[in-house]
Amino acid sequence: MDFSTFLWSLGATVGAYLVGSLSFAVIVSRAMGLNDPRTYGSKNPGATNVLRSGSKAAAIVTLLLDALKGWVPVALVKCFGQPYGLEEGTVALVALAAFLGHLYPVFFRFIGGKGVATALGVLVGISPVLGLAAGATWLIIAYFFRYSSLASLAAAVFAPVYYVFGDGVAWYLDTSIALSISVMSAFLVYRHRENIVRLIKGTESRLGKKKI
């Protein structure tokens, strides 16, 4: 990698982190006159907790924007990065940076959400089929068990598997992207550690239950 390519890659990675740092759960809630999602329910600034405010519209907008901020940086690098020497290694860095921006947003004192929607957006940017597989996993588990956290954990665990044995086999396996997805999966499990404890104890809140 020459110096010019390094600068472009660094700029894309920093830009992805800044985009990821936009906490749309907080922004959308403020714009719609709702309580700060960090003050009720699970206190997690994410779409699921925004839903506990009683506003489905706010939750949907948050979900879409959180996913979009994961998809956009990855898609831009994939679509326009090649002339600047940006290959899969930069895609992997940008994907991880956007995700970590959501978890540790510079604009919100590094206190962010759990990253499920943003991770989904990143996966769709890497491969629509991969994103669809992870999203379908979430929906199936959520539908049958009614636990958002359990669905998120299942999708997180299976995402690297889907890439390695699905998309990676169908096209080609890129080690840097596989590593990036695996790191995101590990962070998702770590961020859900309290949910795991509640799931074991049987005290985890189910989807559709208002908790203020």
The pLDDT, as a whole number, for residue 211 is 47
The pLDDT, as a whole number, for residue 165 is 85
Residues 206, 168: Cα–Cα separation, whole Å: 34
Q: What number is the average pLDDT over the span 43-67?
A: 91
The pLDDT, as a whole number, for residue 8 is 96
Residues 7, 180: Cα–Cα separation, whole Å: 20
Q: What number is the average pLDDT over the span 20-24?
A: 96
Of 6, 202, 173, the closest CA to residue 85 belongs to: 6
pLDDT digits 0-9 by tens, 57-115: 999 999 999 999 999 999 999 999 999 999 999 999 999 999 999 999 999 999 999 99
Q: Which two tokens stand for residue 133?
A: 């597989």
pLDDT digits 0-9 by tens, 161-182: 999 887 555 456 789 999 999 9
Q: Are 113 and 42 in contact (CB under 8 A)?
A: no
- With a CB cutoff of 8 Å and minimum separation 6, the contacts of 48 are 42, 59, 116, 148, 207
3-state secondary structure of 70: helix
Could you tell me the pTM of the whole model?
A: 0.92
